Structure 1
Amino acid sequence: MSEGASGTSSGLGSYVRLLRLPGATPLALWGVVGRAPIAMRSIACLLLVSAVTGSLAEAGVVAAAMLLAQGTVSPVLGRAADRHSQRRVLLTACAAHVVGMTMLIVSIVLEAPLPLMVAAAVVTGCTSVSFTSFMRARWAAMVEKGLLRTAYALESMLDDTIFLLGPLLVTLLATAVHPATGLAVCALLTLTGSIAVALHRRSEPTPEPTVGRGPERAIKVPGVWVLMLCYAGMGFQFGAVDVTMIAFAREQSAPGLSGVFLALISVGSLISGAVYGAVNWRLPQARVLSLTTCVLTLGVVPLAFAESSLVMCFLAVLAGVAISPGLIAGSTLMESVCPKGALSEGFSWLTSAGGISIAAGTAVGGRLADVFGSAAAAWAGVGGGFAALVLSLVGQPVLNVARPVAEPTSELAVQEQ
């Protein structure tokens, strides 16, 4: 790690110390620009397709195709970044993404047959890098371990902020300007953020192929598998809880409150993430992951017993309290167990596992809510959280193992020792 504060890194001042590092503030800001479409792209697609075709079913198919394509291909792009550099992958992918997004917008506006819209959505998803994963790999390359937890906490808070404001922005653009504006802005943000981050050389992770063979694969590391499965359990819970909030608002004859409930979950996560990143935790991160998944699971249980909108507002904040700490602990563990030259791939696997399981949790929770009510969806979320908890406990031995490959020896490494 080349930069960082070597002293204490606890307290809210740790964020100030982090952002004072050369290049840290521009990296954080451009990272927000590049990944803002994560919270906007699928909603913008739903709004445009439904506005043009009048079919929510077709809109759901197109949006799902885009998300599934992204979840499937992002680890491949992460692997390419580890082998050939993030800069090359970001610049190539963002150019292809603009082409794919243009095809998607044109096909929808011209009311092309559904298979053509789906094909354009797949191209768009396949060219969408896991920006969050790339950013975490960059922080790991840029700061020392003492500030790495704070960097991941900052990333988590920025993600929460994006998911608070992104849907509001894209909805405003689609309704006040034109239904296609949301997707067009997503393409512009992806292009701008990708180029800016790609040119941020200070944080560029260095490809580190092993002599005589290719770089170590993240997917071959047992600890990576445990983290992927934990993220899958948490993602399933997130999807089910989202449906719980929407279904509960409908049951209260106030569908507009669903957005408020979902925003309050992000508020709880944002506050806890800020506090978590400011505390210098002494517990092993593997144990912290188990503790946070336990709190995450217990926090969803009360949602099944809510009887009023006011109570649900309070419970929504509580349900979000453990989200950021759990994801931060997972990111910190990934940096510890994953081969240094495969971090972009490793973080991409986490993002894919979480994203695909969110879709699964949404589908299962929606089915249960339609048949049995919002409480059933909440219990499905509890099941996902419990699975993550069990996996984190069973996986303690491999999560506590040090990095699986030795760091390359160099004059700088010898001097640091």
Structure 2
Amino acid sequence: MASAVKDSRPGYGQLLRTPGAWTFLLPGFLARQPFAMLTISIVLLVENTTGSYGTAGAVSAATGVSMALFAPQGGKLADRFGQRAVLVPGVLLHALAVSALIALALSHAPLWALLAVAVPTGASTPQVGPMVRARWAARLGGTPLMPTAAAFESVTDEFTFVIGPVLATALCTSIHPAAGLIAEGALTLAGGLLFASQHRSQPAVERTRSTGQPHASALSVPGVRALVVGFLGIGSVFGGMQVSLTAFTQDIGQPGINGVLYGIFAAGNMLAGIACGAIAWKIGPRRRLLTAYGLLALATTPLWAVTVVPLLGAVGLLVGLCIAPALITGYTLVESLVPASARTEAFTWLTGAVALGQATAVAVAGRLADHFGPSSGFLVPLGGTALALVVLLALRGRLVPHSESLVVGSGTQDGTAAHGPDGERGVGHREPLPVD
């Protein structure tokens, strides 16, 4: 397979012909769908039973923050003991927590009880997206197809977040207020168990304990900490856009076009993701990340001043086009920065950072919109990306992989280091990728 990667231009067709890819792609898509349904389903159910968007938002935010904080721990356990060992008990716990949340909401339980159950609900949400990325990295790490895989996963995530909320809303409004959350729990259980059953494609467990070496956290890698800040900024764009577009369309008396405007924003993200995966890049991922992030911060600048719907749609499209390159390149950098023994954890740190940035942005943008007008919420994406860009520029030296970070902690199933004939980690020959 390595020779095929070397001799042809990377593309989605070649990526999807990777042996064994479909065995985890299809179950992975089913299992990650509930990730996009959870928070909106909670909002719709709790608002229906309490009549308060504030209460619904608080329960949803508690779930999101819990998910962001506990996801990296699940990733660390998956790296150490295997994805299946984490997924099976995790989806069972999630199904129980969701069932308890539904029961409490329908029985009009107090806010403290809902918050108490929201924490395990978020903490047990399976991180299937990072696990799929880790499987791609285990198969393609170091080859020109890895950026294509990162782009494919970004497009898949965005597609999930387009259809997930629509499905949850339709179920809650046309069947029963709890139908969305019931479907989320059922899909998580079925999809998670099916994905976990594909154990042949999961990354090999790094047996660091047998060598006497401590299991290092992915967050101990300086480059990962820099990327976490960058992904917090990206999360601020998602959260700020959601709240601010809702407030803006309600203020102008056209709440129905909120979905259209956010759909344009999401479409820009998807289109850019597809394009990124089809391009054979000649410049390194660090330069691509800094360039894309600078363009993202620049694109968010006029949002707060736009008052015309078509122009806001155009600017939203531009912002979406700038997000995907930054996300994809960040995930691509993980493969070169982090040893295999901590890769799933690293992916979950980034996914959790987006969730945490989004939850924080929702709260801040909502308060700004309440106190200073609907357009003021658009300052959150601008502020979040600008601050993150400053940090990324200051720490750009940490985004270059060092040789020792590629070897320490990496290895084969028996704990020995795996090197190709060229001395690099991995199986077979690797084409060197530009780092800047």
The alpha-carbon deviation at position 276 of structure 1 amounts to 0.7
Instruction: State the alpha-carbon separation in 2 of the partners of residues 39 and 190 from structure 1.
Output: 11
Tell me how far 1:38 sits from its aligned partner: 1.6
The correspondence of residues 76-115 of structure 1 with structure 2, limited to 5 A, is 76-115=73-112
User: Paired residue for 1:23?
Assistant: 20
For residues 255-296 of structure 1, the C-alpha deviation after alignment (integer angstroms, 9 at most, x for no partner) is: 121121111111000001000111011111111111111111
- Name which of structure 1's ranges 237-246 and 203-212 shifts more when overlaid on structure 2: 237-246
Instruction: Write out aligned runs for 1:68-83 (5 A).
Output: 68-83=65-80
Q: Which moved more, 1:138-147 or 1:100-109?
A: 138-147
- Counterpart of 2:174? 176
Counterparts in 2 of 1:333 and 1:411: CA distance versus 1, 3 Å: closer
Maintained 8 Å contact 1:4/1:147: no
Q: Does 1:51 pair with 2:57?
A: no
Give distance in 2, aligned partners of 1:87 and 1:253. 49
C-alpha distance in structure 1 between counterparts of 2:390 and 2:7, whole Å: 36
Partner Cα separation in structure 1 for residue 238 and residue 134 of structure 2:
24
Shift of 1:228: 0.6
SS in 2 for 1:5: helix
Q: 1:414 to 1:29 in 2, by over 3 A?
A: closer
Alignment pair present for 1:142 and 2:145 = no
SS of equivalent to 1:224: helix
TM alignment of 1:107-256, pairs within 5 A: 107-144=104-141, 145-210=143-208, 211-256=211-256
TM-score by length of 1: 0.94
User: How far, CA to CA, are the matches of 1:2 and 1:118 in structure 2?
Assistant: 50
> Which has the larger displacement, 208-217 or 159-168?
208-217
How many residues are paired up? 414
Take 1:120 and 1:370, find their aligned partners in 2: how far apart are those partners? Answer: 29
- Which moved further from structure 2: 251-260 or 401-410? 401-410
Matches of 2:326 and 2:136 in 1, distance apart?
A: 18
Distance of 2:214 and 2:78 partners within structure 1: 13
* Residue type of the alignment partner of 1:180: A
Q: Helix, strand or coil for the counterpart of 2:276?
A: helix
2:321 maps to 321
Q: Structure 2 CA distance, aligned partners of 1:349 and 1:405? A: 19
Q: Deviations over 1:36-79 (max 9, x none)?
A: 11211111011111112222222122212211111111111111
Distance 1:75 1:370, change over 3 A: same
Letter in 1 for 2:347: F
Between the aligned partners of 2:334 and 2:420, the Cα distance in structure 1 is 25
Structure 2 CA distance for aligned equivalents of residues 358 and 332 of structure 1: 22
How far does residue 7 in structure 1 lie from its aligned partner after superposition? 2.5
Change beyond 3 A, Cα 1:112–1:4: farther
Runs of at least 5 residues in structure 2 that lack an aligned partner in the other structure: 422-427, 430-436
Instruction: Provide the rounded CA distance (Å) in 1 between the counterparts of 2:362 and 2:57.
Output: 12
CA–CA distance in 1 between the matches of 2:200 and 2:140?
A: 10
CA offsets per residue over residues 321-348 of structure 1, 9 Å max, x none? Answer: 0111110000011111112110111111
Paired residues of 1:221 and 1:338 also in contact (CA < 8 A): yes
Instruction: Tell me the residue number matched to 2:349.
Output: 349
Distance 2:21 2:205 in 1: 21
Distance 1:127 1:75 in 2: 11
Per the alignment, in what secondary structure is the counterpart of residue 6 of structure 1?
helix
- Alignment of 1:413 with 2:416, yes or no, is no
Give the structure-2-normalised TM-score: 0.90
| Structure 2 partner of 1:268 | 268
**Equivalent-residue separation in structure 1 for 2:223 and 2:357 (angstroms):** 19
Aligned partners of 1:372 and 1:58: how far apart in 2?
A: 22
CA deviation vs aligned residue, 1:4-61 (integer Å, no higher than 9, x gap): 7333333xxx111111122213422222211111211111011111112222222122
The CA deviation at 1:350 is: 1.1
Tell me the CA shift for residue 2 of structure 1.
Answer: 8.1
Measured in 2, the distance between the counterparts of 1:209 and 1:219 equals 19
The aligned residue for residue 389 of structure 1 is 389
Per-residue CA deviation, residues 355-391 of structure 1 (Å, 9 max, x unaligned), is: 1111111211222222222332223311111122222
Shift of 1:196: 1.9
* Percent pairwise identity: 36
> Deviation string for 1:63-107 (max 9, x for gaps)?
122111111111111111111001110111011111111111111
- Give the C-alpha shift of residue 125 in structure 1: 1.2
Structure 1's 167 and 408: CA in aligned 2 closer, same or farther, altered over 3 A? closer
Q: How much has 1:411 moved relative to structure 2?
A: 9.0
Residues 185, 213 of structure 1: CA spacing in aligned structure 2 closer, same or farther, 3 A cutoff? same
Distance in structure 1 (CA, Å) of the matches to 2:136 and 2:33: 18
Contact 1:261 1:316 in 2 (8 A): yes
Q: Summarize the Cα distance change of 1:230–1:65 in structure 2 as closer, same or farther, 3 Å threshold.
A: same
> How far, CA to CA, are the matches of 1:184 and 1:228 in structure 2?
32
Query: What RMSD in Å do the two structures reach over aligned CA positions?
Result: 1.9
Instruction: Kindly state the Cα deviation for residue 209 of structure 1 after the two structures are TM-superposed.
Output: 3.2
